[in-house]
């Protein structure tokens, strides 16, 4: 038997119970900026269907988010569950997963996504979307930066046309963001990031896969070395 491959194949089949997984997903959609502050989450019934869990479980998850002041719910028609404008800081609790593990997977997924996106012929809507996310990120405040940054990177993953790749990038970014929340975000870094973002998007829109990969690699290696410096 090939010994090491077992670690990957015989890992736990479920990350947590249905409740925890559901909380995690809703948190992701908020923390990654997919549902922005002030916006409404899909209805409980809708979420239950999409997430493949019962409405009871969705409600328990939402209750948990309410108690942590991430969302508030309003009843009646045109009611719903809305993301609060002022989001609480993330709980610093979690241990760091294996740093190497997180960064390796992120690099593979995101440089691959950039290259793949650049190799496709994008429709006008997708091109506009990418430019819009770039603009959002470059004009965002320090407070909003992590969220806008994630939206941009997710938009790049979506531009590959692969839902599985997009899901993998979202998952990987959450893990990376947990680490990034522990290091300071400084104006100079932000300006540098914006310049790199611009290069990435321009390369994708120009249809230059090699340049897109290269630009994304440099961008990620920047934050990776920041992380290694702060956390070691």
Supply 117's token pair.
């996106």
Tokens of 225: 């070395």
Classify each residue of 169-183 as buried b or exposed e, where b means 16 or more C-beta atoms within 10 Å of its C-beta.
Answer: bbbbbbbbbbbbeee
Per partner kind, with CB cut-offs from 5 to 8 A, the member of its own copies, DNA, none near residue 194 is none
CA distance 199 to 230: 26
Residue ranges in 86-105 that form contacts with its own copies under rule CB under 8 A: 98, 100-102, 104-105
Residue 48 interacting partner from its own copies, DNA, none (CB closer than 5 to 8 Å by kind): DNA
Measured from the CB atom, the residue of 45 and 228 that comes closer to DNA is: 45
Q: Assign residue 96 a region (left: φ > 0; alpha: ψ between -120 and 50; beta: otherwise).
A: beta
Tell me, what DSSP letter sits at residue 70? S
What kind and span of H or E run contains 42?
Answer: none
Interacting residue with its own copies among 55, 59, 84, 107 (CB under 8 A) = 107
CB of 134 to DNA, least distance (A): 32
Q: Residue 156: which of 198, 118, 193 has the closest Cα?
A: 118
Q: Which of residues 139-158 bind its own copies (CB under 8 A)?
A: 151, 154-155, 157-158
Coil, strand or helix at 71: strand
Provide the binding-site residues for DNA, judged by CB under 7 A: 17-20, 41, 43-46, 48, 52-57, 59, 62, 73-81
Determine the 3-state secondary structure of 216 from DSSP: helix
- Whichever of 4 and 188 has its CB closer to its own copies, that residue is 4
Quick check: 85 binds its own copies (CB under 8 A)?
Answer: no
Give the shortest CB-187-to-its own copies separation in angstroms.
26
Residues that bind its own copies (CB under 8 A): 1-2, 4-14, 18, 21-22, 25, 28-29, 32-36, 39-40, 42, 47, 50-53, 98, 100-102, 104-105, 107-109, 111-113, 115-116, 151, 154-155, 157-158, 160-168, 170, 172
């Amino acid at each position: 038997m090939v010994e090491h491959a077992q670690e990957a194949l015989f890992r736990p089949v479920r990350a947590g119970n249905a409740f925890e997984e559901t909380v995690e997903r809703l948190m992701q959609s908020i923390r990654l900026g997919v549902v922005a502050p002030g916006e409404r989450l899909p209805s409980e019934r809708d979420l239950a269907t999409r997430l493949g869990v019962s409405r009871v479980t969705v409600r328990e998850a939402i209750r948990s988010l309410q108690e942590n002041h991430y969302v508030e719910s309003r009843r009646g028609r045109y009611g719903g569950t809305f993301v609060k404008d002022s989001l609480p800081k993330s709980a610093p609790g979690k241990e760091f997963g294996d740093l190497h593990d997180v960064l390796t997977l992120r690099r593979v997924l995101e440089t691959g996504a950039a290259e793949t996106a650049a190799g496709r012929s994008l429709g006008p809507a997708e091109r506009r979307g990418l430019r819009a996310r770039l603009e959002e990120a470059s004009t965002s405040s320090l407070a909003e930066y992590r969220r806008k940054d994630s939206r941009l990177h997710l938009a790049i993953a979506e531009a590959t046309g692969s839902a599985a790749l997009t899901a993998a990038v979202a998952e990987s970014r959450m893990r990376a963001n947990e680490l990034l929340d522990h290091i300071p975000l400084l104006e100079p870094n932000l300006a540098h990031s914006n310049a790199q973002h611009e290069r990435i998007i321009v390369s994708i829109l120009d249809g230059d896969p090699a340049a897109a990969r290269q630009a994304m690699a440099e961008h990620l290696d920047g934050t990776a070395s920041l992380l290694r410096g702060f956390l070691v």
